[in-house]
Each structure stands twice: as C-alpha cells, then as structure tokens.
C-alpha cells in the first residue's frame, strides 16, 4: 500500500462518519445558502496575459506525513490574516485530520477571518466532500489525479464548476498531466514529491510543466524552501507556488511571502524577455 492509499483509507473512514452525522441533503442545503465562491482562477492570474507576476498559495499546515509536526498553530485565523497581509493570492487550509492534523474547524476559522479565495486541501474521493467544501465557504478544492479514475476526475471537476468553484488538479507524472488536460483542468498543480518515497525532486518540474497548455495556471507544489526555489519554479513555467512548511516555520510569514513574490516576478520577467528574443 502506498502512502496515498493509506491516507485515503483513513479519509474514507472519517468521511463515512461525517456522512452518517450529516446527510448529503443537509450539506447541499448549506452549500446553497453559502455566499458565492470567489474566483480563484482570476486570483491566480488566470485572466492575465502575459502572466508577469508570481502568485503564492499560502498553506495553514500543522503536520505532514514526510516531516511530522511542523508547527503548533494555535490560531489558524491569525496566521491566515498574516498571509493575506503579505500578499497571498489564495490560502490553503488542510482539513485532513490523521496525517495533517487539520480540520474543517480550522477552515471555518480562516474563512471568517480573510476575504481572499480559500482552498480546501484534502483528499477528495467522493462528491460529498465537494458539496461539503462549498457549504463551508471553499472557493477551490483539490483533486489529485493519482487518487481518481478518469470518470471520477471529470465528474468531480464538473461538479466543482457547477457549484461555482475552481479545482486545483494535482499531477505527479507526465501521464497524469495529460489526464488533467484531457478533462479540461484550468489550474494544474505539478507536485514534485514522489508519492511512494515522499522524496522531493525539483528537477522534474521543468519537464512536466512544459506539457501544460498556456491557458492553464501552473502551480508548483512541494519543495519551496526559499526565494531561490521560487525563482527556479518561475523560470520553468510556474505561475504560482503552493507553500506550507516554509511559512508556518517562519516567524514572519508576511515578509516571506513578499520575498517569494519578488523572486518569482524577477524570474518570470527574465523568462518572458528570453522568450520574446527567441
């Protein structure tokens, strides 16, 4: 069993309990009553041409399977406010509880505190979770290609759009990127972490991102430690980076986000100039 399989097994158990406690019909009623979703595609520069700036998706993340406990986040809302003040385009909130120590309570606290798009970061394996995300005010959900077959991926993406949200469709391989493109994903994440070993290989990003259509927003996931990593991803086609560990472990996440945006903007400017001259 891979790490992903193990995580999903736990997700399904926890999901079954929530489905028992709150029937889908009730969740759908709450989703219908929620404020309209914010446009995460636009927030990530999806409507800009050319995309000359680097956007940051800042993550509220307590733990991870690869590193264990990352930070004692006693007030996720306060951390999210600092992210927003630093210029984050989107805030990601982990809601998976067993491996990431997250919760929908964390998500609700952040939703009440900020006015920018929120990503519900979890392992989506059932439409219930998409309705649930909208009911809690999510603007963006995560769809992991490796966790879904083509029919699920397409139907989950369609439901996400029907509810007015966007999806970050996460791929780890060239074949998964092809699948994401085939279903019409507009925001494609390239995660450079190996799902079997949990090792990070930043060098694979360039080859994988090159096959993503220009109209899609490309998000670099995993391995962002400092401005140099951000610049590397931006040089190789990233329009945004998703950052968790480097922010939750820093005593000034707002300043760090600003530094990352500046590093990314410089790298993108150099890439665009080289492209125009080529």
Q: Is 239 a catalytic residue?
A: no
64, 222, 239, 254: the catalytic one is 222
Q: Is 221 a catalytic residue?
A: yes
Tell me the C-alpha distance between 1 and 99, whole Å.
16
Tell me the C-alpha distance between 261 and 259, whole Å.
5
Q: Is 170 a catalytic residue?
A: yes
Q: Is 84 a catalytic residue?
A: no
166, 191, 239, 254: the catalytic one is 191
Count CB-CB contacts under 10 A for residue 198: 13
Tell me the C-alpha distance between 31 and 160, whole Å.
12
Closest by Cα among 119, 125, 89, 90 to 107: 119
Residues counted in the chain: 278
Q: Is 25 a catalytic residue?
A: no
The reply to whether omega before 50 is within 30° of 0 (cis) is yes
84, 96, 132, 170: the catalytic one is 170
Q: Is 103 a catalytic residue?
A: no
Q: Is 222 a catalytic residue?
A: yes
Is residue 99 within 8 A of residue 10, CB to CB? The reply is: yes
Closest by Cα among 151, 156, 176, 152 to 166: 156
53, 58, 61, 92: the catalytic one is 61
59, 84, 96, 132: the catalytic one is 59
53, 64, 121, 176: the catalytic one is 121
Strands (E), the chain: 55-60, 63-64, 68-69, 90-94, 118-121, 140-144, 166-171, 187-191, 217-221, 240-243
Count CB-CB contacts under 10 A for residue 221: 27
Q: Which residues are catalytic?
A: 59, 61, 121, 170, 191, 221-222
């Amino acid at each position: 069993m891979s790490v992903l399989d193990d995580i999903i097994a736990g997700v399904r158990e926890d999901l079954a309990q929530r489905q028992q406690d709150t029937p889908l019909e009730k969740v759908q009623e709450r989703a219908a009553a929620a404020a309209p979703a914010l446009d995460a595609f636009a927030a990530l520069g999806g409507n800009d041409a050319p995309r000359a700036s680097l956007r940051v998706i800042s993550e509220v993340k307590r733990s991870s399977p690869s590193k264990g406990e990352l930070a004692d986040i006693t007030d996720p809302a306060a951390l999210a406010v600092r992210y927003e003040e630093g210029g984050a385009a989107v805030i990601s909130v982990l809601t998976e509880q067993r491996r990431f120590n997250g919760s929908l309570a964390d998500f609700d606290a952040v939703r009440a505190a900020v006015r920018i798009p929120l990503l519900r970061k979890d392992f989506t394996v059932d439409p219930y979770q998409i309705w649930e995300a909208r009911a809690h005010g999510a603007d963006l959900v995560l769809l992991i290609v490796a966790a879904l077959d083509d029919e699920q991926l397409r139907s989950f993406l369609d439901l996400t759009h029907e509810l007015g949200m966007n999806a970050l469709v996460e791929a780890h391989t060239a074949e998964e990127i092809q699948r994401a493109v085939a279903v019409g994903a507009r925001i494609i994440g390239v995660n450079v972490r190996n799902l079997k070993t949990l090792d990070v290989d930043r060098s694979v990003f360039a080859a994988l991102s090159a096959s993503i259509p220009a109209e899609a927003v490309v998000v670099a996931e995993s391995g962002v430690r400092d401005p140099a990593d951000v610049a590397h991803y931006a040089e190789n086609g990233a329009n945004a980076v998703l950052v968790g560990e480097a922010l939750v472990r820093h005593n000034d996440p707002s300043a760090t986000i600003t530094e990352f945006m500046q590093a990314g903007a410089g790298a993108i400017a150099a890439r665009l100039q080289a492209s125009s001259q080529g």
